[in-house]
Amino acid sequence: MRAWGRAASEAARRRTFAVISHPDAGKSTLTEALALHAHAITSAGAVHGKSGRRGVSSDWMEMEKARGISVTSAVLQFAHRGCVLNLLDTPGHADFSEDTYRVLAAVDCAVMLIDAAKGLEEQTRKLFDVCRHRGIPVITFVNKWDRPGREALELLDEIEREFRLKPAPVTWPVGSAGYLRGLVDVNSPGRMLRYTRAPGGTHEAVEEPIPAEQAAFEEGADWEQATEELQLLQADGAEFDRASFLAGTSTPVFFGAAISNIGVRLLLDAVVDLAPPPGAREVEGGGSRPVDAPFSGLVFKVQANMDPSHRDRIAFLRVCSGVFERGATVTRAASGKPFATKYAHSVFGQDRSMVDTAYPGDVVGLVNATALRVGDTLYDGKPALFPPMPTFAPEHFAVVRPVDIGRSKQFRRGIAQLDEEGVVQVLVSDVRGDQAPVLAAVGPMQFDVVSARMAGEFSAPVRLETLPYRLARATDAAGAEALNRSRLVRGEALTRIRDKALLALFPDRWQTNSFEREFPDARLEPLLAAHE
């Protein structure tokens, strides 16, 4: 088969998706439950790393295991029903919005996880806005139905009201939140699925189909209420429509409990049946690059030291078109220079294996690709350049210095590495020098990651001194000079190392307005906010 034909046929078998949610909604637990039901792992871990339990496969950083949260993205690839699923686990905490945004640039679908008790939360709203902006269709999973929570109809009303998204239930709970008796598969309405969870939720829950007559007899009012609610929803037109789902105006809804593995199989099947395969991707200058074009790929993440025994660096590449072949020489669009793909791995959490070929939708880990940066495009044949990833406006700033001045070389190497990965933005000024760079972050937890990784991976412990700035604006040399001359405003102009952009920092909006009145001709432009 010719390469272009092979790329198209293999792309049709791919489903590349992310799980998004507010912190503590159960995102990493669901990630492992999906891998468990696809038989990619033999037992699931617990997110919180309690005594006697291991961490989830997608959480490899010591800080993640200790705190029970995901602070970096991870990739899991596994097969299910003849399809290859590429699951990109995203950081749940709002402080890591930039990393999540980059991951969403590499997927074709998202599973939006909602806590049954809390409903739509702030980070969920922000991530959904990103999905809508990027045209990513969303599948909804209402989690933790085995615990007390809100009414199912109330949650659907909230989704429709706040997201202007028509919910279309594919499964429906029998019994209220905290008293789950089973699930109705809307596609098989004549039965109820009853679940018996495995001890500790480490294995798949036993799923038993119960005929409608038996369910009505044994569950009584709960079965009657569930069927009445489904009839009400169907009368209201809440039936799944693929065209509106792909257009981003409706969402299929599933109910379950990830930690108990309840309803997870149905969600996994839905990813295969409903999520779109890779398609043509927009390129700079207009137009798009189809999946059967020559090879192209987008670097959406760079991560070092995932495996302490290797101490290497991996650039995560989403294959967008054509066939990736290990050892091939392609072109890096940013420099126009050739790039050899000699060391390419398939990554499953922290584990990895050599990969020889990959297809549109797959994620390849390019090892020790020191020339690559987040947002880079690689291509073969006709040139391609995918749209750049925006840099978010930082809201927290701190001067970072080495605790041991004798470790200055390790300090500089570590800070440069974290900047290239996008863990933080690194700013410098002529006054401070490179021995005391300024770290700029969307959220303060990014500073915790810097401190942990500088000490653990680079053997260069640091101390941080918080600066009183909260607003950053893009400026130019004239604006930076004006800020340094100002007698009314307490601010500072710094250069971002990654792209040499000049930023003007201010303590608050009042100071920013004062500067604009003092220097009306100075250039000040807002940066992309983390919630946009």
Q: Is the pLDDT of residue 322 over 50?
A: yes
On whether residue 386 sits in a domain, the answer given is no
**CATH number of the domain that residue 323 is part of:** 2.40.30.10
Within 211-256, residue ranges assigned H as helices are: 212-219, 221-235, 242-246
Q: Is the dihedral of CA 375, 20, 233, 15 positive or negative?
A: positive
Q: Is the pLDDT of residue 65 over 70?
A: no
| 302 and 261 share one domain | no
Distance CA 158, CA 151 (A): 11
Q: Is residue 149 part of a domain?
A: yes
| H or E element in which residue 344 lies | strand 344-348
154 and 32 share one domain: yes
CB 212 within 8 Å of CB 190: yes
Position 268 confidence tier, pLDDT thresholds 50, 70, 90: very high
Contact 210, 194 (CB under 8 A): yes
pLDDT band at 408 (very low <50, low <70, confident <90, very high): very high
- Report the alpha-carbon distance of residue 186 to residue 321 in Å, rounded: 36
Residue 521 falls inside a structural domain: yes
89 is in an annotated binding site: yes
Picking from 215, 241, 274, the residue at the C-terminal end of a domain is 274
2 — pLDDT class (breaks 50, 70, 90): low
pLDDT at 44: 62
- Whether 254 and 325 map to the same domain: the answer is no
Residues 125 and 240 in one domain: yes
Whether residue 233 is found in the same domain as residue 285: no
User: Are 357 and 222 found together in one domain?
Assistant: no
User: Which of 379, 413, 440 lies at the terminal end of a domain, its last residue?
Assistant: 379
329-332 and 438-441 strand pairing? unpaired
* pLDDT of amino acid 443: 84
Rounded mean pLDDT, 382-397:
87
Q: What are phi and psi of 229, to 5 degrees?
A: -65, -40
Domain range enclosing 35: 20-70+91-274
Residues 138 and 208 in one domain: yes
* CATH number of the domain encompassing residue 519: 3.30.70.3280
- Residue 12 within a domain: no
- Of the listed ranges 90-104, 124-138, 193-207, the one predicted with least confidence: 90-104
Last residue of a domain, one of 274, 306, 324: 274
Residue 1 in any domain: the answer is no
Nearest to 369 by CA among 333, 343, 334, 351: 343
93 is in an annotated binding site: yes
- With a cut of 60, say whether residue 62 has pLDDT above it: no
279 is in an annotated binding site: no
pLDDT for 47: 34
Residue 407 CA from chain centroid, whole number: 34
Query: CA-CA distance, 64 to 55, in Å (whole number)?
Result: 8
- 143 and 63 fall within a common domain: yes
Compute the Cα dihedral for 333, 389, 11, 363 and give only its sign: positive
Residue 363 lies in a domain: yes
In a domain, 447, yes or no: yes
Looking at 69-78, 222-231, 449-458, 473-482, which range is the least confident one? Answer: 69-78
385-403 average pLDDT score? 88
Assigned domain for 7 exists: no
SS3 category, 245: helix
- What is this structure's pTM? 0.83
- Asked if 442 and 370 sit in the same domain, the reply is no
Q: Indicate the residue type of 202.
A: T
Question: Considering its fold, how many domains does the chain have in total?
Answer: 3
CATH classification of the domain holding 52:
3.40.50.300
Name which residue leads in pLDDT, 510 or 130: 510
Per the annotation, does 108 bind a ligand?
A: no
Are 308 and 358 members of one domain?
Answer: yes
pLDDT mean over 307-336? 88
Q: 91 labelled as ligand-binding?
A: yes
**Do residues 214 and 108 both lie within one domain?**
yes
Indicate whether 418 and 489 sit together in one domain. yes
Mean pLDDT value across residues 361-389 = 91
